[in-house]
Amino acid sequence: MKVVSVVGARPQLVKLAPIAAAFAQTDHEHVIVHTGQHYDANLSDVFFSGLGIPAPDVHLGIGSGSHGAQTGGVLAAIDPVLAEGAPDWVLVYGDTNSTLAGALSAVKQHIRVAHLEAGLRSFNRRMPEEHNRVLTDHCADLLLAPTEEAVRHLAAEGLAERTVLAGDVMVDVCLRIRDAVLSGQHPRPALPEGIDPDAPYLLATLHRAENTDDPVRLAALLAALAELPVPVALLAHPRLLARADHFGLKVGQGAVHVGQPLGYTGLIAAVLGSVGVVTDSGGLQKEAYLLGRACTTLRSETEWVETLAYGWNRLVPDPAALGSAQWVATATRTAPEADRGTPYGDGHAAERVVRILAEHLG
Ligand code: UD1
């Protein structure tokens, strides 16, 4: 069996790591196509080196642009790559513009498409990711759902026949790296200047279009982080810095200490060293949950609804609306004691994905 993985943005590289490792244990041929959606070294290269992913076989070099330019650029560039490679499967990951472009190119060339992390829904049509997910799910041949909730969403959209519950490959990589960090195999992460790794700190990220593209909203979120009584280590995605700069907003104010995004090992170590997480990232909500840290999510909904159980994760779309005291109490609350169970699977999802692809060749 020959499988082409199409990746391009940071979270896809994290998911690629366990998949590439699972393929390496088999005789199947696995080809990696990097669209180039993320090109900064600390959004891309560090994941390949840090997670031991083989270098991409093909790099499309698409880069940034409007949604149309980015999606269309990948689509045009990947067509001949898939035509020439003629794989048995194209595997697309998550919900970025690269996901949708990879799926569209494959399906129009009658190459089977499998969607990893199928069935997630925010039901928020303002999110570019929601369109990418829905469209990808509806054109793909095989839907690899990470959770039972995702299976239900796909069934509700008439896609049950193409759906298989595979579990979440993020668990595979997160738990492996957690164990390596806890056994002292990695140096301490490069936290932002001014953060004492031995004193309590909150770990924060902010990058979603709906939080960064509106100057009033972005200013309010930065002010809310600034007023927290605990130092905030803000790992700034280039999009956040670009938008704040464009709007003339200062990112590092009050409690906030701004640093670079971290590689995956550094991120896991930074979560483990923190007293809690404040974020709008999908992946980080789940990493906080898997690592036993309370998470405050700066959005009105989450695709990872399982994290909300027992208050492990709380949604705060508008900190100002909550009032200062309530916002501070929420963001600085300690982790609940409740058992989290294993709603995201057992840490062996990637091997299962490879097996499912082989079984569904017919
Ligand atoms: C993309 C995904 C989002 C995912 C995120 C993870 C889409 C629609 N969004 O958002 O779902 O959560 O990746 O990080 O696909 N930039 C750089 N260097 C880079 C990449 C981006 O400076 O290597 C800056 C540019 O100003 C660019 C902006 O970030 O215009 C946005 O990048 P883009 O790839 O369009 O989306 P992300 O915000 O990274």
Q: What is the pLDDT of residues 331-357, one digit of tens each?
A: 999 999 989 989 999 999 999 999 999
* Residue 187 confidence (pLDDT) above 90: no
For the residues 208-232, what does the mean pLDDT come to?
A: 98
**Nearest protein Cα to ligand 1, atom 25:** 239
Pocket test for ligand 1, best of 34, 35, 38, 206 (most atoms within 8 A of CB): 38
Among 153, 207, 237, 257, the active-site one is 207
207 annotated active-site = yes
Question: 116 alpha carbon to ligand 1 midpoint, in Å?
Answer: 20
Question: 310 alpha carbon to ligand 1 midpoint, in Å?
Answer: 32
| Domains of the chain listed by start with CATH number | 2-168+345-359 (3.40.50.2000), 183-331 (3.40.50.2000)
Q: Quick count: other Cβ atoms within 10 Å of Cβ 88?
A: 16
What is the share, in percent, of the chain residues with pLDDT greater than 70? 100
* Residue 56 confidence (pLDDT) above 80: yes
Asked if residue 137 lies in contact with residue 159, where contact means CB atoms within 8 angstroms, the answer is: yes
Asked if residue 122 lies in contact with residue 94, where contact means CB atoms within 8 angstroms, the answer is: no
Summarised one tens digit per residue, pLDDT across range 266-312 is 999 999 999 999 999 999 999 999 999 999 999 999 999 999 999 99
The pLDDT value recorded for residue 345 is: 92
Q: Which amino acid would we find at residue 359?
A: E
The pLDDT value recorded for residue 258 is: 98
* Residue 27 confidence (pLDDT) above 80: yes
At 59 the three-state DSSP class reads: strand
For the residues 113-135, what does the mean pLDDT come to?
A: 97
What is the rounded CA–CA span in Å between residue 322 and residue 318?
A: 7
Asked if residue 162 lies in contact with residue 140, where contact means CB atoms within 8 angstroms, the answer is: yes
Summarised one tens digit per residue, pLDDT across range 222-242 is 999 999 999 999 999 999 999
- Which comes out higher in pLDDT, residue 341 or 12? 12
The pLDDT value recorded for residue 186 is: 87
Helices (H) and strands (E) in the chain, counts: 15, 13
The pLDDT value recorded for residue 291 is: 97
Q: What is the mean pLDDT of the chain?
A: 97
Asked if residue 284 lies in contact with residue 300, where contact means CB atoms within 8 angstroms, the answer is: no
The kind and range of the H/E element at 259 are strand 256-259
* Residue 362 confidence (pLDDT) above 80: no
Summarised one tens digit per residue, pLDDT across range 139-162 is 999 999 999 999 999 999 999 999
What is the rounded CA–CA span in Å between residue 19 and residue 16?
A: 5
What is the rounded CA–CA span in Å between residue 273 and residue 292?
A: 11
Asked if residue 279 lies in contact with residue 287, where contact means CB atoms within 8 angstroms, the answer is: no
At 258 the three-state DSSP class reads: strand
Pocket test for ligand 1, best of 37, 67, 132 (most atoms within 8 A of CB): 37
What is the rounded CA–CA span in Å between residue 30 and residue 241?
A: 36
For the residues 325-331, what does the mean pLDDT come to?
A: 98
pLDDT tier, 108 (very low <50, low <70, confident <90, very high otherwise): very high
Supply the DSSP string of 191-249, one letter for each residue: PPTT--TTS--EEE----HHHHSSHHHHHHHHHHHHT-SS-EEEE--HHHHHHHHHHT-
Q: Dihedral of CA 47/52/55/56: which sign? A: negative
Asked if residue 278 lies in contact with residue 315, where contact means CB atoms within 8 angstroms, the answer is: no
Pocket of ligand 1 (CB under 6 A): 9-11, 37-40, 43, 64, 70, 95-97, 128-129, 207, 237-239, 242
* Residue 178 confidence (pLDDT) above 80: yes
pLDDT tier, 89 (very low <50, low <70, confident <90, very high otherwise): very high
* Residue 40 confidence (pLDDT) above 80: yes
Asked if residue 140 lies in contact with residue 128, where contact means CB atoms within 8 angstroms, the answer is: no
